Amino acid sequence: MKKIILLITLLSITTLSAVDYTKRKSVKRFINMMHYRYGFKTKTLEKWFKNVRKNSYIRRLRQGLYCYGGRCDSMGSWDRYSYQFLKRVGGGVYFMHKFRHTLKKAYRKYGVEPEYIVAIIGIESEYGVMRGDYFVFDRLVHLSFDKNDRRAKFYRKQLIALLRLSAREKVNPKKIRGSSSGAIGLAQFIPTTYKRFAVDFNRDGKKQMNNVYDAIGSIAYYLKRHGWRKGEDVAVRVRYKGLRFNKLPTGYKHKYYRKNLEGIEPREEFNYHGMVRLIKLERSGYDELWYGGRNFYVLTRYNQSSYYAMVVHQLAQKIKKSYKRRYGKF
């Protein structure tokens, strides 16, 4: 009897945790559109939308602990941001060595240095360990139809792209896992990006972001398409007078001719001769200032943040240096 009661309770919880979206007019219109425009079967779509998980997260998300106690107050924003990512050097070296042949192939084809591909995979999915804590279909349904705001339109586009790629790759969209914004796989491509930039790098007839080989090729292709220049330096730290820099606007959106940046000089050789961005990293007692070149800007196309591009660059350089120390020339 106890087992039967427990079973009924579990079934009740499961039922309560699911939402039937097929009763909503907006979803009915969406289903009809997917049927007439893209050829999806109405019954299949209704089945998926009838049982949308109320809580789309799979497990409790891991929290990045940047600091403890009062130490947080004494750390700059860059210290807090970069702490969790710049620790991933060891995993990057292992990943780079294990998939060195694929990385070399991507470098030959697209001209993107291997350490930057590895760094992006390290930041986005911790080398494949953390590929997402959400059921992407359910999450995108919530974001598309629960709120009537400007972002709902964006997420509806992602939902369409997710359903279409699941049809192309012959996978059940209800089983796809990803981030809270619908990003998928080692490279954490959102569905619309997946459609445009995912490549079948291992030539098995499928484009799968959970496949390491396709993820490596796709990141390289993405950066190349956005203007990556082979062999060109990405960024260099510079000197300036004072501890805090507020003389000029900083960030990837602002470009300067180096000849006009009086009193700002690179700390080491910088193999780049175009206009530069001034990138400010706020630390506890001072601002760290960097030049960012064209390739730095390309990294911000992956994630529109100067801090993101800089942490990719710094992690890539640490991986490259550690790899050379352990294995020699790549």
- Span of 68-77, 161-170, 188-197, 311-320 with lowest mean pLDDT: 68-77
- Domain ranges in the chain are 235-327
Q: Which CATH architecture has domain 235-327?
A: Orthogonal Bundle (1.10)
Strands (DSSP E) found in the chain: 18-19, 52-53, 134-135, 177-178, 235-239, 255-256, 265-266, 276-282, 287-292
Confidence of residue 79 (pLDDT cuts 50, 70, 90): very high
* pLDDT on residue 62: 45
Highest mean pLDDT among 14-18, 74-78, 152-156: 152-156
Mean pLDDT, all residues of the chain: 90
Q: What φ, ψ does residue 139 adopt, rounded to 5°?
A: -65, -45
Asked if the model's pLDDT at residue 16 lies above 60, the reply is no
* pLDDT on residue 149: 73
Task: Tell me the C-alpha to C-alpha distance, in Å, between residue 297 and each of 229, 255, 270, 302, 305.
Answer: 11, 10, 16, 9, 10
pTM flag (> 0.85): yes
Asked if the model's pLDDT at residue 13 lies above 70, the reply is no
